[in-house]
C-alpha cells in the first residue's frame, strides 16, 4: 500500500472512531444521563485502601445496595467532619468483607454493617451471592502497578464521558437486559431487569436513583415486581446453619473490637408489600434481634425511630437522594446521642449546618 493510501485509510479510521464515540455519547446524554463511574471491583479496591485512616477520621460501611443508596456521603461528611468509606456491594451480603476486615490486623476503625435480611441471612455457601465480593477482594490483593495506573486514567475519562460506564452501556450489559427466550437450543445469559435508568454511582461509590426512573411509574412497578420475585424465592437460614453463621459473625466482630474498633449494625428502610414480606419471611425476633443479642453488638433499626420510620422508598427498597440525606442526618444523631460515637465535628458545630 502506498504511503498516501495508508494515510487516507488511517485518517478515515480515526474519523469513523470519533464519529462512533460522539454518536454514543450524544445518544446517552440525550436520554438524560450524565458522566458517572463504573461501580466495579477497581473502584471498590481504591476505596478499600482508605480503611487505614485513623478511627477518628473515618467510618467504613459494608453491606448491600441499601446503604449505598441510603447513605448520603456529603451529608455524613458535613455533619461528622470525617470520611465515609463506602465498601458495600450491590446484591452482596456483608460477610466476606466483614471477614476480610476482621483478619486485617491494621484495620482498627469504626464499622457500620447494613443488614438487608434476604442478603445478610442467605446461605453462606452461596457463590452466586458472594461472587462480586470474591472478585473485588481478589483484585484488591492482586492489583498490579499497571492496573493502578490504568485505573487513574479510567477515572479521569469516566468523569467526562457517559458511555464509559461499562456496567450499563457496554454491549454485554445491554444484551443481558434483553429478555430473549425464543431461540431453540440457546441458553441466554441471566436476564437482568434493573434498567439503566435505575441508579448511578459517583467516585465515593454512593448511588442514587435517576430523575428518569423516579418520573416513570412503569419502571418503578417493574422494579417492584422484580424485588417481589426475589423475596418470594428467599430461603432463610435456620437452625444450626443460622447458629454457625452468627458464631462466625461474632468472631469477626470480636476481632475488630479487640483492636479498639467499633461496630454497629443498621437496618435501613424498606416499605410497602416488600417489608411485609421481609417481616414474614425473616421475623424480627428470630433474625435482627437475635443477631444483636448473639453478637453483643448495638443496632439501629429504622422502624424504632420517628425520624426514619416513615421514610418512603420509591420502589420499596431504596431511598431517594433527598430522603437519603434525611436518613443520614438521623443516623448521625442516633450514633452520637445513643451509641456514644464521637466525631471530629462536635454536635454544636453540626447544629450550625442543620439550622443555618
Domain positions in the chain are 50-126+186-354
Residue 191 has a pLDDT of: 46
> What local confidence, expressed as pLDDT, does residue 165 receive?
77
Nearest to 61 by CA among 101, 31, 33: 101
Instruction: Answer for the pair 113, 264: CB distance below 8 angstroms, yes or no.
Output: yes
> What pLDDT score does 348 carry?
63
Q: What is the mean pLDDT of each run of 10 residues along the chain (356 residues)?
A: 79 86 80 84 96 94 96 96 96 94 96 95 75 94 92 84 75 68 57 73 93 92 87 86 95 97 97 93 96 97 96 95 97 95 80 57
Q: What is the pLDDT of residue 332?
A: 97
Question: pTM to 2 decimals?
Answer: 0.88
Question: How confident is the model at residue 199, as a pLDDT?
Answer: 86
**Domain 50-126+186-354: CATH superfamily, name plus number:** SGNH hydrolase (3.40.50.1110)
pLDDT of residue 183: 61
Amino acid at each position: 500500500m502506498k504511503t498516501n493510501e495508508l494515510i487516507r485509510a488511517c485518517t478515515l479510521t480515526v474519523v469513523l472512531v470519533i464519529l462512533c464515540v460522539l454518536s454514543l455519547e450524544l445518544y446517552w446524554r440525550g436520554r438524560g444521563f450524565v458522566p458517572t463511574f463504573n461501580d466495579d471491583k477497581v473502584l471498590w479496591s481504591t476505596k478499600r485502601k482508605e480503611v487505614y485512616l485513623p478511627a477518628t477520621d473515618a467510618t467504613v460501611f459494608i453491606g448491600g445496595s441499601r446503604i449505598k443508596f441510603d447513605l448520603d456521603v456529603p451529608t455524613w461528611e458535613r455533619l461528622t467532619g470525617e470520611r465515609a468509606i463506602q465498601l458495600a456491594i450491590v446484591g452482596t451480603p456483608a460477610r466476606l468483607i466483614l471477614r476480610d476486615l476482621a483478619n486485617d490486623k491494621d484495620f482498627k476503625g469504626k464499622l457500620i454493617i447494613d443488614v438487608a435480611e434476604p442478603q445478610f441471612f442467605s446461605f453462606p455457601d452461596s457463590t452466586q451471592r458472594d461472587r462480586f465480593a470474591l472478585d473485588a477482594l481478589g483484585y484488591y490483593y492482586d492489583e498490579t502497578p499497571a492496573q493502578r495506573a490504568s485505573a487513574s486514567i479510567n477515572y479521569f475519562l469516566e468523569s467526562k464521558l457517559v458511555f464509559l460506564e461499562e456496567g450499563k452501556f457496554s454491549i454485554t450489559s445491554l444484551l443481558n437486559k434483553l429478555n430473549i427466550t425464543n431461540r431453540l437450543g440457546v441458553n441466554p445469559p441471566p436476564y437482568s431487569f434493573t434498567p439503566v435508568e435505575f441508579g448511578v454511582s459517583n467516585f465515593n461509590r454512593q448511588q442514587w436513583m435517576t430523575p428518569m426512573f423516579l418520573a416513570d411509574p412503569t419502571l418503578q412497578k417493574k422494579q417492584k415486581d422484580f424485588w417481589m420475585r426475589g423475596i418470594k424465592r428467599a430461603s432463610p437460614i435456620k437452625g444450626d446453619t443460622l447458629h454457625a453463621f452468627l458464631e462466625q459473625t461474632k468472631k469477626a466482630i470480636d476481632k475488630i473490637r479487640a483492636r479498639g474498633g467499633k461496630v454497629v449494625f443498621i437496618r435501613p428502610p424498606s416499605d410497602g408489600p416488600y417489608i411485609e414480606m421481609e417481616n414474614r419471611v425473616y421475623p424480627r425476633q428470630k433474625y435482627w434481634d437475635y443477631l444483636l443479642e448473639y453478637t453483643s453488638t448495638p443496632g439501629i433499626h429504622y422502624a424504632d425511630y420517628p425520624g426514619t420510620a416513615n421514610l418512603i422508598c420509591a420502589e420499596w427498597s431504596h431511598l431517594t437522594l433527598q430522603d437519603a440525606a434525611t436518613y443520614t442526618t438521623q443516623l448521625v444523631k442516633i450514633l452520637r446521642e445513643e451509641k456514644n460515637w464521637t466525631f471530629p465535628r462536635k454536635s454544636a458545630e453540626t447544629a450550625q449546618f442543620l439550622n443555618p
